[in-house]
Amino acid sequence: MTEPVIEVHDLVKHYRTRGRGTVHAIDGVSFRLERGKVLGLVGESGCGKSTTARLLVRLERPTSGSVRVAGIDVPRARGSELKMLRRRVQLVFQDPYSSLDPRQRVGSALTEILRVHHIGADERSRRAAVTDLLEQVGLLPATADRYPHQLSGGQRQRVGIARALAVRPEVLVLDEPVSALDVSVRAEIMNLLMRLRDELQLSYLFISHDLGMVRHLADEIAVMYLGQIVEYGSWDEISDRPRHPYARALQAAVPIPDPATERTRARLEVAGEVPDAAHPPAGCRFHPRCPLAEDVCRARDPVLAGLPSAPTDYLVACHVVQRQAAEPIGESRR
Amino acid sequence: MTAVLSVQNLRSSVRTRAGDLEIVHGVSFDVAAGETLAVVGESGSGKSFTALSIAGLLPAGARVTSGEVVLDGQEMTTLPERLRRATRGARIGMVYQDPMSSLNPLMRIRSQVAEGLVAHGWEKDKAAARTLDVLGEVGLPSPAAIGRLYPHQLSGGMQQRVLIASAIAARPQVLIADEPTTALDVTIQQQIVDLVARLRDDYGLAVVWITHDLGVVARIADRVLVMYAGRVVEHAPTQRLFAHPEHPYTAGLLGSIPTPQDPHGSALPQIGGAPVSMSALPLGCPFHPRCPQAEQRCAIDEPPLTDRDGGQAACWVPPAQWRPA
């Protein structure tokens, strides 16, 4: 087994708020990402996926648990180690517009990053490096003279990616990188990400609410709900044969470009909305919305565990799925 | 089926420093009671501008320059302004993408829904009663309690339900929904799609659903209008459009969605090039610089919208002659 580039163990992040109590943004999340691989993190708002991203790049520190990225103990990194972390892992945001300075030309923004990280011997070599970076993400050298508002959404996201690549990272944390883009542009950015991963041997944590996009790129997928991983496995196991009722609802939301199928496909009805993370429901956190919920789901928190019938790297946290898997084949489900 | 809403050759433009810029360039369609027409296009295609033109809600500096909007047999564009507003408001309900920006944060839910009704000539007590009913109709639990709350006390999905309640409170014949699910979580999107479909069936609403999400289109639309550069480039029954698109842009949009049948990690088909800018339209077909099927003629003459296999398309090159992508 290769050495993982990300190793997260029992990660917890709570926010104490005035009035609302303690928000359980992340509650005991563990996963690992191997070099050159893509881990998809899927879930909806409030599931903790963006908080996970922020903890990985040290924009925040966890309440407890461990995070190692490229061999560095993230919460404890100081001095030169912290600098090293900033070069090894980079975050790409959903909306590149909000992360680019509107008054700074693209070229000068990129040159500045290189200067800060002492990359390139002088300004001339840095400018040449900027041209290379732009080319790497499929932009013309002339883009360097543009301001962010002069670019299309797709071009801005390419600049966002170029900026992340400037420090030659090993890992990219991509937080909904294509969600704000038009349909035709999404495909371009997805293709770019796949090419860069292969060319630069990058590892990705790809965060999205869109299981269809994640399916396409990820080697493994973790489904998150209210701060916990509820299902984890290889991409095909999760996207094509999800067992957890929440993951099944996400799968049902992936569009099938065929009206006949789209209208008749079976859908698990998920009621209501995500509850307040300051007061997560007792027992299984999904039970108030779950069409399969039973008494045990209201009483006990399910444990993330494997199934006898599933591959060894597969995990699910659902009482009903676990019980059904344990029943002998042919026995009726009541 | 008779059309409740009929739009004929609609053109709208916006005033800019460089003169009038046309955003909607001759859009025509009909929608019948109980029918859903999806208007599909990417940002800058003019789909939202078309909706605002129909609803009479264009921002200052923008105006309808020609064409007809016929609502239940009545031509709206020639009506006096005051009458037009009253008629449109009562007969066309409108729902937007971001519920929080369409709701008044300082007003209780019941007051904002009732206020709309009073503006359309309802008496106060009747408006109050109707408000409670309609909050229930959109599936909000305990309407009386919800009515007392302020928008920020509701979740995004509930806010969108309130907005839909507001839109249908006066029992309009037409509901225009402009990306109503885009800002919502996927499980909530599904609930809102189901809700609008139910309201359409229960009240025989003519629904115009503006979106870039082809999954939603496949689910609820009877017909689809594909827009590019302020024009209709294809118009067809949903089933036919998905089965065999007659315009290369439609084919490109459909092709760029990853499906569960795609080989894992394969390159996704992409349209390529940059979306067109209305201030710098190319000569000929506006899509030709990005079109994989473009021929010489496409760079010179703009193709008209012509009848094609149960629908219409604006393209010189028939699909039988398309080169494989």
- How do residues A162-194 score in pLDDT, each as one tens digit? 999 999 999 999 999 998 888 889 999 999 999
CA distance B74 to chain A (A): 34
A217: which residues sit within 8 A by CB, 6+ positions away?
A: A38, A40, A190, A193, A194, A204, A206, B265
Residues of A in contact with B212 (CB under 8 A): 182-183
Please indicate whether residue A101 or residue A225 has the higher confidence score (pLDDT). Answer: A225
Computed from CA positions of residues A270, A271, A274, A280, in that sequence, does the dihedral angle turn out positive or negative?
A: negative
Residues of A in contact with B266 (CB under 8 A): 216
Q: Residue B104's pLDDT is what? A: 92
CA distance A192 to chain B (A): 9
Structure tokens at B282: 């190319």
Round the average pLDDT of chain A to a whole number and report it: 92
Give the number of other CB atoms < 10 A from CB of residue A265: 12
Q: Residue B92's pLDDT is what? A: 93
How far is C-alpha B59 from the geometric centre of its chain's CA atoms?
17
Residues of A in contact with B154 (CB under 8 A): none
Chain B contact present for A12, CB below 8 A: no
Choose the closest CB to B254 out of A240, A253, A257: A257
Probe site for chain B from A183, A237, A269 (most B CB atoms < 10 A):
A183
Cα B182 from Cα A195, distance rounded (Å): 28
Give the up-direction half-sphere exposure of residue B304: CA atoms within 13 A in the CB hemisphere: 3
Pairing of strands A38-42, A220-225: parallel
A154: which residues sit within 8 A by CB, 6+ positions away?
A: A181, A182, A185, A188, A189, B274
- Reported in sequence order, the residue ranges of A48-92 that DSSP labels E, i.e. its strands, are 64-69, 72-73, 89-92
Structure tokens at A68: 């190692």
Residue B107 burial (C-beta neighbours within 10 Å; 0-12, 13-18, 19+):
middle
Q: Residue A1's pLDDT is what? A: 53
Residues of B in contact with A250 (CB under 8 A): 186-187
Residue A24 clears pLDDT 70, i.e. is over it: yes
Residues A43-72 have a mean pLDDT of 94
Q: Residue A334's pLDDT is what? A: 44
Residues of A in contact with B239 (CB under 8 A): 259-260
- What are the tens digits of pLDDT across the range A127-168? 999 999 999 999 999 999 999 999 988 999 999 999 999 999
CA distance B226 to chain A (A): 13
Q: Residue A330's pLDDT is what? A: 54
Residues of A in contact with B264 (CB under 8 A): 215-216, 235-236
For A120, the 3-state DSSP assignment is coil
Question: Cβ separation of A186 and B213 shorter than 8 Å?
Answer: no
Mean pLDDT by 10 residues, chain B (325 residues): 91 92 96 97 91 89 93 84 76 86 92 92 95 96 94 91 95 94 86 94 96 90 97 97 96 88 87 84 95 96 95 96 85
* Structural contact between residues B186 and A273, judged by C-beta atoms closer than 8 angstroms: no
Bridge partner residues of B207 (DSSP): B36, B175
Give which of A286, A270, A275 is closest to A321, Cα–Cα.
A286
Cα A37 from Cα A171, distance rounded (Å): 10
Give the number of other CB atoms < 10 A from CB of residue B78: 9
Cα A289 from Cα A252, distance rounded (Å): 15
* Structural contact between residues B285 and B291, judged by C-beta atoms closer than 8 angstroms: yes
* Structural contact between residues A65 and A10, judged by C-beta atoms closer than 8 angstroms: yes
Q: Residue B269's pLDDT is what? A: 87
For the CA atoms of B247, B253, B258, B263, the dihedral, rounded to the nearest 10 degrees, stands at: 40
Cα B139 from Cα B197, distance rounded (Å): 13
B209: which residues sit within 8 A by CB, 6+ positions away?
A: B36, B37, B38, B39, B177, B180, B196, B216, B217, B220, B221
Residue A86 clears pLDDT 60, i.e. is over it: yes
Residue A17 clears pLDDT 90, i.e. is over it: no
DSSP label at residue A46: T
Q: Residue B181's pLDDT is what? A: 87
Give the up-direction half-sphere exposure of residue A199: CA atoms within 13 A in the CB hemisphere: 10
Helix segments in A172-318, DSSP class H:
183-200, 211-217, 235-240, 245-252, 259-264, 295-299
For A83, the 3-state DSSP assignment is helix
Q: Residue B138's pLDDT is what? A: 96
- What are the tens digits of pLDDT across the range A238-251? 999 999 999 999 99
Q: Residue A333's pLDDT is what? A: 47
CA distance A275 to chain B (A): 10
Probe site for chain A from B257, B261, B262 (most A CB atoms < 10 A):
B257
For B190, the 3-state DSSP assignment is helix
Q: Residue A107's pLDDT is what? A: 95
Choose the closest CB to A212 out of B189, B258, B271: B258
Number of Cβ pairs closer than 8 Å across A and B?
122
Chain B contacts in chain A segment 242-261 (CB below 8 A): 249-250, 252-260
pLDDT range class, residue A332, cuts 50, 70, 90: very low
Residue A152 burial (C-beta neighbours within 10 Å; 0-12, 13-18, 19+):
middle
For A315, the 3-state DSSP assignment is strand
* Structural contact between residues A319 and A283, judged by C-beta atoms closer than 8 angstroms: no
Helix segments in chain B, DSSP class H:
47-55, 81-91, 99-102, 109-119, 124-137, 143-147, 156-168, 186-203, 214-220, 238-243, 248-255
Q: Residue B1's pLDDT is what? A: 62
* Structural contact between residues B275 and B252, judged by C-beta atoms closer than 8 angstroms: no
